[in-house]
Amino acid sequence: MISWTAMKKDELERQYSPSRWSHRMAADDVIKAHVKALKEGTDHARSLAQTLLNVPYGEGEGEKLDAYIPTTSSLDVPLVIYLHGGYWQFLSKEESGFMAVPLMDKGVVVVAVGYDIAPRGNMDLMVSQVRRSVVSVVQQYSHISGLYLCGHSAGAHLAAMVLSTDWSQYSIMPEIKGAFLVSGIYDLLPILSTYVNEPLKMTEEVAIRNSPSKLIPQTLKATGLNVTLEDVSNTDHFSIIEQLVDEDYHLTKLLLKMMGKR
């Protein structure tokens, strides 16, 4: 086993560049296709759903969220908060509603959270923002039957940081019933010397306190959450989340099952 500390920068960058590992197309092309798929999926969801767009959850310019609301007579509906990926420096909530259609069809509210990506935002700020967004959602949507998190890539990291939150520092303690973390990065130390950290400018101290792998185990034990690992075949880092637009996709079914909707 080779420690990441012994790896050269070039090798670390290769290991932490998921676009290089896709077999579908060239690295640049897979990223362009990913953004296109997410944007088209989000536009489709907005054309079908009742939406509340650009709802503030804080005073900052980037502290806004979008809600995709199903047509249902029930006041008690599950709600999924989605945190987008993009290595903390790309994408936004404008490409984050793509998964809403199959969930809304089952009576689930989907909330896509925006946060200040780098270089405007730093890691501490982003973690603080997503935690505050969860508090705001709970305060605004009091009739939900269950609160769930879903994040992809950097968004999975941020969702894991939400799970590690000491809620005594906040005005409310959200009861998170489940989390769906897809292709996340949970140890930030290896990326300190790579291109990923150039806009983030994380120090070792910042990376350590924002690494879920150093925080989550004790959190999960304390909350009693059951944790499972799902290996999804025939996908890459990008297609694994893009396919959540499909109600028959394996992960869509798992997400709905977690909420008791399938």
Encode pLDDT of 39-53 as tens digits: 999 999 999 989 999
Residue 236's domain comprises 4-258
Q: How confident is the model at residue 8 (pLDDT cuts 50, 70, 90)?
A: confident
Confidence of residue 1 (pLDDT cuts 50, 70, 90): very low
Per-residue pLDDT of 179-234, as tens digits, reads 999 999 999 999 999 999 999 999 999 999 999 998 866 666 666 677 888 889 89
Q: What is the pTM of this model?
A: 0.93
3-state secondary structure the chain: CCCHHHCCHHHHHHHCCHHHHCCCCCHHHHHHHHHHHHHHHHHHHHHHCEEEEEEECCCCCCCEEEEEECCCCCCCEEEEEEECCCCCCCCCHHHCCCCHHHHHCCCCEEEEECCCCCCCCCHHHHHHHHHHHHHHHHHHCCCEEEEEEEEECHHHHHHHHHHCCCHHHCCCCCCEEEEEEECCCCCCHHHCCCCCHHHHCCCHHHHHHCCHHHCHHHHHHHHCCCCCCCCCCCCCCCHHHHHHHCCCCHHHHHHHHHCCCC
| Number of structural domains found in the chain | 1
Q: Read off the CATH number of the domain in which 80 is found.
A: 3.40.50.1820
